[in-house]
């Protein structure tokens, strides 16, 4: 099957290898040959945020409780995350990707889809483009990246996963079926534990096996939408569309307490600090969110989330705190001690290009003063560290929820 250069779509997926841990190893040569785990510290509550490949050899992976990681490898280097540093490195890497193609869709701080269509004339065939991406990132940042290139997003993503770490995998359109066939179905997108159980029951282990199952049978077990999605993935059919402006879907922060907390004052103070950090990041990225999410975890990893949609998008911590606290008080949550609390905003409206809808009951002058005040707090925090200046937030009276 031949394609003209103009017609053939090429999508790249760039995924930095063990990003947080790799940045720490780069900055501290003494960590180079050791297992490195970034996240909570041993003896504290919390989970692994990132583990380098040495640590993964011990079965350590992200989201694993830190106590379990320590049990598997007490000799690893355990470090707290330095998010400001990782953000700086990430911005630099996205600038480098921008020298390859202007059409980039960030997925997270360490991962992006790239539209590479039509770049053959400039940089050569897809394998040369992939090598150039890897070379430029290594030279500028000292970090390795795995790159997958294929005719659509699914194949690009599976390609970058296929040869980690420091890999490069190009899958041409006529190689897609062969590339997918031996893969475990678990590699496909959107496959949760329940779907995995259904596939096991039907004896479907590989993508090649999935391809042979008639759509009607899949529909009986998975429902129409999921059946079609998995059948198309098995055939290598997926979108090649880029959404450059999409970037992050939400901004959130959470804290795991050393000991379970019952006191509302402590919970509210913690939410206040988290709301301030979320709001500051939103302002820095010129985003306003219309949905506030509260996350609560109790002992035994019982986790609840509650959401509220605002009439007017916000990047003001007072609004975020007010809404999150109202969700806590009125969200019909169990009256148990809290292990983790978190807050986030999503459903973006760009503050730079789309002015916020004016609140009918708020004077324009007050909004301007508020915006100036928030910017001043951000400047002070950038210069002297967070927490020096913080907005006072009016307490919501606890009239609903005895704890």
pTM for the whole structure = 0.65
Would you please indicate which residues are annotated as catalytic (active-site) residues?
111
pLDDT at position 403 is 39
Q: Are 291 and 251 in contact (CB under 8 A)?
A: no
Give the pLDDT of the chain (403 residues) as one tens digit per residue. 444 445 589 999 999 999 999 999 999 999 989 999 999 999 988 889 899 999 999 999 988 999 999 999 999 999 999 988 998 999 999 999 999 998 998 888 899 999 999 998 889 999 999 999 999 999 999 999 999 999 999 999 999 999 999 999 999 999 999 999 999 999 998 887 888 899 999 999 999 999 999 999 999 998 898 899 999 999 999 988 877 755 567 889 998 888 899 999 999 999 999 999 999 888 877 788 889 999 999 987 788 999 998 888 898 899 999 999 999 999 899 999 999 999 999 887 644 333 333 333 334 444 555 666 666 666 666 565 555 455 555 444 444 443 3
In the chain, what are the domains? 7-174 (3.30.70.270), 181-234 (1.10.150.20), 250-384 (3.30.1490.100)
The residue written with tokens 């704890």 in the block is 403
Q: Which segments of 76-204 does DSSP mark as H helices, in order?
A: 83-100, 120-123, 126-141, 153-162, 176-180, 193-201
The residue written with tokens 């978190």 in the block is 342
Alpha-carbon 181 to chain mean position:
28
Q: Are 52 and 76 in contact (CB under 8 A)?
A: no
Contacts (Cβ under 8 Å, ≥6 apart) of 137: 14, 16, 93, 96, 97, 143, 144, 145
């Amino acid at each position: 099957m031949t394609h003209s250069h103009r017609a053939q779509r090429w999508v790249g997926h760039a995924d930095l290898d063990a990003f947080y841990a790799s940045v720490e190893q780069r900055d501290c040569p003494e960590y180079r040959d050791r297992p490195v785990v970034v996240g909570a510290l041993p003896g504290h509550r919390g989970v692994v945020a990132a583990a380098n490949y040495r640590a993964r050899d011990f079965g350590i992976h992200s989201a694993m409780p830190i106590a379990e990681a320590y049990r598997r490898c007490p000799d690893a280097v355990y470090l707290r995350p330095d998010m400001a540093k990782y953000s700086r490195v990430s911005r630099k890497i996205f600038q480098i990707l921008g020298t390859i193609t202007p059409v980039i869709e960030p997925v997270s701080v360490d991962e992006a889809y790239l539209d590479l269509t039509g770049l053959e004339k400039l940089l050569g065939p897809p394998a040369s483009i992939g090598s150039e991406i890897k070379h430029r990132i290594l030279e500028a940042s000292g970090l390795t990246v795995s790159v997958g290139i294929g005719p659509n997003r699914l194949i690009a993503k599976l390609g970058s996963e296929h040869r980690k770490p420091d890999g490069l995998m190009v899958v041409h359109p006529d190689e897609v079926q062969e590339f997918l066939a031996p893969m475990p179905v678990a590699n496909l997108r959107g496959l949760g534990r329940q779907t995995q159980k259904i596939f096991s029951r039907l004896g479907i282990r590989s993508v090649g096996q999935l391809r042979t199952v008639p759509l009607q049978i899949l529909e009986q077990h998975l429902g129409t939408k999921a059946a079609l999605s998995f059948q198309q993935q098995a055939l290598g059919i997926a979108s090649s569309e880029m959404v450059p402006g999409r970037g992050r879907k939400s901004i959130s922060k959470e804290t795991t307490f050393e000991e379970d907390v019952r006191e509302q004052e402590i919970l509210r103070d913690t939410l206040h600090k988290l709301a301030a950090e979320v709001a500051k990041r939103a302002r820095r990225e010129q985003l306003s969110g219309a949905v506030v999410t509260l996350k609560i975890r109790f002992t035994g990893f019982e986790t609840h989330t509650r959401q509220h949609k605002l009439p007017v998008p916000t990047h003001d911590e007072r609004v975020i705190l007010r809404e999150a606290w109202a969700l806590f008080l009125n969200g019909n949550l169990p009256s148990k001690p809290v292990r983790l609390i978190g807050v986030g905003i999503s459903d973006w409206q760009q503050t730079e290009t789309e002015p916020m809808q004016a609140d009918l009951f708020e004077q324009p002058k007050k909004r301007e003063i508020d915006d100036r005040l928030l910017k001043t707090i951000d400047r002070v925090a950038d210069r002297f560290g967070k927490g020096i200046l913080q907005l006072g937030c009016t307490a919501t009276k606890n009239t609903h929820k005895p704890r």
